[in-house]
Structure 1
Amino acid sequence: MAPRHERPSTPAPYTPHPAVELRSVRRSYGRGDRAVHALRGIDLALARGSFTAVMGPSGSGKSTFLQCAAGLDRPTSGEVLLGGEEITRLSENRLTQLRRSRIGFVFQSFNLLPSLTVQQNVLLPQRLAGERQDRGRARQLLAQVGLAEQAGRRPGQLSGGQQQRVAIARALITGPEVLFADEPTGALDTRTAAEVLTLLRQAVDTMGATVVMVTHDPLAASHADRVLFLADGALADEIVRPDPQRVAERMITLTARSAGRRAEAAA
């Protein structure tokens, strides 16, 4: 599997704001001595049309990072901006509208509705957002993910890899500013995972999408432009133009350091 792909020769149009920006973001659970500090002051800007992988040892804050960045959880303090718009103080109704229209999600468990056809699943975000269901766009996306002939089938009739491709088409149907992927290859075999990662890479390179992917797999991370490493709720390192070996070595180092700090804290 070739981890790197050439970027398109035509640059994305200039925009003044990053796709996603976190400013001094902290997230704590509980109070006092029992408080868990999942994020400890994250400052980060992710450019439009970029592919970023987020990695870290268990308990490093990866899931909390994704949830706060995507507007699924509110930081304890700090700001999250989507395309320059501060979203942390929006009402729940406005946040829901924003997630449906400007953000796409791909999860490890696919989250397709078994009672709907493949095409109906792809169109679901438009339906939930109260938009016109663009069946032509759905057919186009299904063709791009290699499932044009499966539009009338139910998810249960598809393989795991095919279901994840449906989930990617569904995530792209509204033309989101950012696509967040949480362990999108975690339930797939190596070959199928490579196909899904290639689709995410193509969404960036040919459609101008911005992808933020949480993963534990160095091979998956090597498809990204940049890998960010979290440790104990803070940004610990990054690699630009990653390759699997460098990512794996960095993860081994961070995991050992994190384990050492926790052992000292428990002593």
Structure 2
Amino acid sequence: MGLRSERRTADGGGPATGAAPYAVELRGVRRQYGRGARAVHALRGIDLVLPRGSFTAVMGPSGSGKSTFLQCAAGLDRPTGGSVRLGGTEITTMGENRLTILRRTRLGFVFQAFNLLPALTVEQNVVLPMRLAGQRPDRRRAAGVLERVGLHEHAGRRPGQLSGGQQQRVALARALVTDPEVLFADEPTGALDTGTAAEVLGLLRNAVDTLGTTVVMVTHDPVAAAWADHVLILADGMLADRLTGATAQAIASRMTDLTARRQPAPATGRLTR
């Protein structure tokens, strides 16, 4: 299908050179909301690297900092301190215009709410990132990603005519159409039944294994997390644990233990496949 296009620099002006070995790097990342006694420390110094072409699940109890982690890693929120690099590109101090271009050209996003435009057809929703980036919509490319997610025959339909699982697959096709270096997914199976969730997770896994896409997924579901290569567990804004190749049962057990204790031990380091 030809989804391995040339990578672009942060400003979208040309191919990236000297590709960094890691897709995502966080160094000493902190995020604080408010000041003084009422300050909320959502992230308390996160240090980690995520390899290219890996699938990482992020878990943790409610209020652990999962969503803040994803937002800071994806350039949707600015950390209070520390450094975030995407493919070797420092984004922490990047201007908003360049950051917007980077998100449109090098990143993909899938959320629990499908965020499809109801007045547009499936195909029009999929090529929307191209339009927003000022590019001419590539219908052949759109057809390719829709075929990959099993919805090629639904290209002319509107989201309201599709099931929830089909709508999430459209959202995934939209995220993949720009050939992103990193695909960030926030509870992508949260609104789906078990069977449909497995289909979506299989597509995410396939994007990693066949396209070399790096996937970072926030989830509360140990079964979903078990599809990943690595599981990061956050607690109280810190990296409390990381698991590699863990089963759903092992992940659930660790989460239960952590929730009961609520005394996370900070961990830093490097993930390798």
Which residue matches 1:264?
Answer: none
Is the CA contact 2:233–2:242 (under 8 Å) kept in the aligned structure 1? Answer: yes
Q: Distance in 1 between matches of 2:20 and 2:92?
A: 20
Q: Distance in 2 between matches of 1:232 and 1:91?
A: 30
SS at 1:227 equivalent: strand
Q: Which runs of 4+ in 1 moved over 2 A?
A: 14-17
SS at 2:262 equivalent: helix
Which residue matches 2:216?
Answer: 212
Could you list the runs of 5+ residues in structure 1 that have no partner in the other structure? 1-13, 261-267
Aligned residue identity for 1:137: R
| Cα offset, 1:112, TM superposition | 0.3
Which residue matches 2:43?
Answer: 39
1:141-152 aligned within 5 A: 141-152=145-156
Deviates more, 1:59-68 or 1:249-258: 249-258
Give the CA RMSD over aligned residues.
1.2
Which residue matches 2:63?
Answer: 59
Q: Percent same amino acid among aligned pairs?
A: 74
Is the CA contact 2:60–2:66 (under 8 Å) kept in the aligned structure 1? Answer: yes
Q: TM-score, normalised by structure 2?
A: 0.89
List per-residue Cα deviations over 1:146-182 (Å, max 9, x = no partner). Answer: 0010000000000000000000000011111100000
Residue of structure 1 aligned with 2:179, choices 172, 175, 182: 175
1:39-188 aligned within 5 A: 39-188=43-192
Which residue matches 1:231?
Answer: 235
| Cα offset, 1:15, TM superposition | 4.7
Q: Distance in 2 between matches of 1:18 and 1:174?
A: 20
Q: Distance in 2 between matches of 1:206 and 1:98?
A: 23
| Cα offset, 1:116, TM superposition | 0.4
Q: Distance in 2 between matches of 1:131 and 1:25?
A: 34
Is the CA contact 2:19–2:88 (under 8 Å) kept in the aligned structure 1? Answer: no
Residue of structure 2 aligned with 1:200, choices 167, 192, 204: 204
SS at 1:143 equivalent: helix
SS at 2:48 equivalent: strand
Q: Distance in 1 between matches of 2:261 and 2:84?
A: 29
Aligned residue identity for 1:135: R
Which residue matches 1:5?
Answer: none
| Cα offset, 1:256, TM superposition | 1.1
Q: What is the aligned length?
A: 247
Is the CA contact 2:232–2:242 (under 8 Å) kept in the aligned structure 1? Answer: yes
Specify which structure has the higher proportion of helix.
1
Aligned residue identity for 1:210: T
The alignment status of 1:18 with 2:43, answered yes or no, reads: no
List per-residue Cα deviations over 1:28-71 (Å, max 9, x = no partner). Answer: 00001110000000001001000000000000000000000000
Q: TM-score, normalised by structure 1?
A: 0.91
| Cα offset, 1:17, TM superposition | 2.8
SS at 1:19 equivalent: strand
Q: Distance in 2 between matches of 1:96 and 1:227?
A: 28
Which residue matches 1:265?
Answer: none
Aligned residue identity for 1:207: L
| Cα offset, 1:184, TM superposition | 0.2
| Cα offset, 1:259, TM superposition | 8.3
